[in-house]
Amino acid sequence: FFFMSRKNTILYVGGLDSQVTEDILHSAFIPFGELKSIQIPKDYTENKSKGFAFVEFDLEEDALDALDNMDGSELFGKVLKCNVAKALPKGEKGKAIWNAEEWIQNSLKDNVEGAITDDGLHPQNLVPTS
pLDDT by residue (tens digit) across 70-96? 999 999 999 999 999 976 666 655 566
Contact 58, 66 (CB under 8 A): no
Looking at the chain, the number of H-run helices and the number of E-run strands are: 3, 10
Stretches where the chain sits below pLDDT 50 are: 1-5, 109-119, 124-130
pTM: 0.65
Report the alpha-carbon distance of residue 9 to residue 95 in Å, rounded.
Answer: 21
What pLDDT shows up at residue 44?
87
Nearest to 76 by CA among 129, 13, 31: 13
